[in-house]
Amino acid sequence: MSAAASRRESQSLIRLPTMRQERVWLAVHRFDDSIYYRRIDREIFLLLSTLRSGATVSQAVALAFKRTKLNAEGQANLLHESFAHASALGWLCPLCTEDDSEALVM
C-alpha cells in the first residue's frame, strides 16, 4: 500500500455542526440572458406575489403586512426600499392581458 493511501485512511472525518433550517424567500429575474436572484423579506415576497396575481397595491400591502412583526415605521421603510429596488430593476410594469399579448410579440 502506498503512503498516500494510508494517509487517506488515517484522516478522520470532520464533523460539521448541524444547520438550522429556515425559510428563505427569493426573487428570481432574468436580465440580458442572465439569471439573477435576491433574498427578500417574507413581506416583500407576499407583496410581489399578490401584485403579480392582479391585486391592487393597497390589497397587496394589506396582505403582505397582515402577520408582520414590523412596526409602522419599519413597514414604511421596507416598502420604500423595496419599491425603489423593484423599480430600478424594472420589476414593476403593467399587467398584460390576453388582449395585450399580440402587442408584445415582435
Q: Identify the pLDDT of residue 3.
A: 63
Angle (deg, nearest 10), helices 57-64 and 42-52: 150
Length of the chain: 106
- Structural domains of the chain, count: 1
Distance, CA of 65 to chain centre: 16
Residue 1 lies in a domain: no
Residue 31 covered by a domain? yes
Q: How many CA atoms lie within 13 A of 63 on its CB side?
A: 15
For the segment 80-104, the average pLDDT, to the nearest whole number, is 75
Residue 46 lies in domain: 24-90
Query: Looking at residues 56-60, what average pLDDT do you find?
Result: 94
User: Does residue 103 lie within any of the structural domains?
Assistant: no
31: part of which helix (H) or strand (E)?
strand 25-31
In a domain, 102, yes or no: no
pLDDT for 106 beyond 50: no
